[in-house]
Structure 1
Amino acid sequence: MSARDDVLLLKARMGESIVGQERMIERMLLGLLADGHLLVEGLPGLAKTRAIKSLAKNLDAKLSRIQFTPDLLPADITGSEVYFSEGGKGEFRFQQGPLFANLILADEVNRSPAKVQAALLEAMEERQITVGGTTHPLEPLFLVMATQNPVEQEGTYPLPEAQMDRFLMHLNVGYPETSAEAQIMQLARAEEVREPAGASATQQRQLLAQDIIFTARSEVHAVQVSQAVENYIVALVQATRTPAAVDQELAQWIQVGVSPRGSIGLDKVARAHAWLQARDFVTPEDVQAVVHEVFRHRLILSYEAHAARINADTVIDRLVEKVAVA
């Protein structure tokens, strides 16, 4: 099978244990293919944790879950130097923290203080951790999925806009469709039955090797972006910075536009989306399919927009409507 067939099989296997959240599954795979990190926002119980656990069960990868709390320290996630004494001699050895894994679930990341958030984001950006003057590289396959609860904000430490920019995509997870609710109950009921002794069905399957993900990334990198599509991406980004040139209402809604990381991210995710659709070139439709997730957390809206209950998705809808395809 090709790398794309393997990734589609991974997607199908994840869909077996996650009902009604097909868009979240696809966006997680796009983040994996584009080698970026995900910020996922949604109410409790919408399969955010289940999704990354399902990814880890079907991929030959180690998963670490970090529950962020107000008393967490940076060393709790990065690791620290520990003193060992043996044979009358003592030495400090680095004890790895939970960040030394392939898939990281940073649960309720906005519940930890700024120092811990900064340590996580530095590891995401640099792909390494420095402790005691020694640099320790992280795994080549390294994906952070940070979750936030959009409702309960008391006692939290919201991520600053500059730090949110480090995430490749911001996913909003909503309630599943009515038709999927019964399937969710049936799935939960089936999982109540204890499995017989021995390997589970998931364990018996052959796990997807990490090399397949690296091969897929190489193929994504080779996807062609025409000058016209490149101009379209630039026009979308530029419209967030000088919105008055596009639409007067956009000028009232946008306070700060998208950074260069936004254009880089949109290019990468659009290429991954095109590859997943079995194309070796990017179309404007690929850009439009992923622009909400790439721009959503990078736009800073004005007071007027908040007062009018205008959210980032509404602003992006207007951008797509007003910016012409080159």
Structure 2
Amino acid sequence: MDPGGSEHRPAPAELAPEEVASTAAALGAAISTVLLGKSEVVRLALIGVLAEGHLLIEDVPGTGKTNLAKAMARSVGGAVSRVQFTPDLMPSDVTGVSVYDRQTSQFEFRPGPVFSNIVVADEINRASPKTQSALLECMEERQVTVDGTSYQLARPFLVLATQNPVEMEGTYPLPEAQRDRFLARMSIGYPDPAAEVAMLADRDRVDPLDALRPVTDVAGTAALIQAVGRVHIAPALRQYVVELVGATRSVPEIRLGASPRAVLHLARAAKASAALDGRTFVVPDDIQRLAVPVLAHRLLLTVDAHGHHRSAEEIIGMLLGRVRVPRGSGG
């Protein structure tokens, strides 16, 4: 039995850098029809797709978190599932459950919604810690273990989770182990006045999600991900990533710095950023541009830092100015 759909498929064709950039541009244009005036947010979302990394979309209600997740899911094709996280949601509601079949006198595994290419986890912080922990194995190892049997998930596999940072009633903070599994955290923010006027023009009559069609399919998305893996990152830039992440562990205002997983995620995101621009190599700007969204959500600040109204984003900005940038390290 193969709930994750991991049967043997032909290897995706290798894409040239210009093909990667053009397909990514088409994906971005499609998503932008739903999320107006947010080009940087859309770019970060695409980096998550190309790096096959999970994304945490955190913002106040009504800014389009769920619409962004749905638009991404529809644009890249493949199997999509949506889970509305609630306090009474059980782990088996996400991963699946073994059910006894009287005809065969055996237990049969019935896959849960996590057996999809893209899982939209809406309001993830409303679920209990027990249910949240059910995603830990899925997000890191891309498999589900039920009753001692492991089932591989489909590839590519991405979790797009949304959460509201200001509404505390009925919510549970994400544990550090789970936040560390997200490649990046993004915040959409309010649209500018021109975008809000454009929304009023037709969205009371037409939902742009209804008109959205897939730009690529599972094989095409897999080919994009493989192309990112071929992007070159020079030894000097690898050292720069390690030094930048390591610097978060020695700042007095931070009681928990970024993990070794953050090193891997930052490098992978930088390679995806280069691929978006049609390059086959990483430059320092790729790393610096992504340091805050990739690292900030992993840091725990001290009580004194909170008392002085310091933020993780501010501290990372300080570190970017302190850690020496290698020169001549592109290509």
Using structure 2 for the length normalisation, give the TM-score: 0.88
Alpha-carbon displacement from aligned partner over 1:170-210 (angstroms, at most 9, x marks no partner): 112211222321122224135169x9xxxx7545xx64122
Contact map agreement 1:3 1:212 (CA 8 A) in 2: no
One of 180, 202, 205 as aligned partner of 2:195: 180
Matches of residues 100-139 of structure 1 in structure 2 within 5 Å? 100-139=115-154
Larger radius of gyration: 1
SS of equivalent to 2:33: helix
1:158 alignment partner AA: P
2:198 alignment partner AA: Q
* Residues 172 and 58 of structure 1: CA distance in aligned 2, closer, same or farther (over 3 Å): closer
1:294 alignment partner AA: V
Matches of residues 140-159 of structure 1 in structure 2 within 5 Å? 140-159=155-174
Contact map agreement 2:20 2:275 (CA 8 A) in 1: no
Residue number in structure 2 paired with 1:73: 90
**1:234, CA displacement in angstroms?**
1.7
Residue number in structure 2 paired with 1:298: 298
Q: Which runs of 5+ in 2 are unaligned?
A: 1-17, 327-331
1:132 alignment partner AA: D
Q: Distance in 2 between matches of 1:63 and 1:91?
A: 29
2:225 alignment partner AA: R
Matches of residues 1-326 of structure 1 in structure 2 within 5 Å? 2-86=19-103, 90-191=105-206, 201-203=211-213, 207-243=215-251, 251=252, 253-326=253-326
**1:313, CA displacement in angstroms?**
1.0
Percent identity, please. Answer: 41
Indicate the larger mover: 227-236 or 145-154: 227-236
CA-based RMSD of the aligned residues comes to 2.0
Q: Distance in 2 between matches of 1:238 and 1:128?
A: 30
Residue number in structure 2 paired with 1:248: none
> Structure 1 residue runs of 4+, over 6 Å off?
none
Q: Distance in 1 between matches of 2:178 and 2:49?
A: 20
Indicate the larger mover: 9-18 or 20-29: 20-29
1:178 alignment partner AA: P
1:95 alignment partner AA: R
Q: Distance in 1 between matches of 2:85 and 2:285?
A: 37
**1:272, CA displacement in angstroms?**
0.4
* Residues 124 and 190 of structure 1: CA distance in aligned 2, closer, same or farther (over 3 Å): same
**1:219, CA displacement in angstroms?**
1.6
Q: Distance in 1 between matches of 2:207 and 2:92?
A: 38
SS of equivalent to 2:145: strand
1:314 alignment partner AA: E
Q: Distance in 1 between matches of 2:133 and 2:75?
A: 30
SS of equivalent to 1:225: coil
Contact map agreement 1:17 1:187 (CA 8 A) in 2: no
SS of equivalent to 2:108: strand
1:240 alignment partner AA: T
2:101 alignment partner AA: F
Q: Which runs of 5+ in 1 are unaligned?
A: 244-250
* Residues 276 and 187 of structure 1: CA distance in aligned 2, closer, same or farther (over 3 Å): farther
Contact map agreement 2:20 2:276 (CA 8 A) in 1: no
Give the number of equivalent residue pairs: 309
Q: Distance in 1 between matches of 2:167 and 2:83?
A: 19
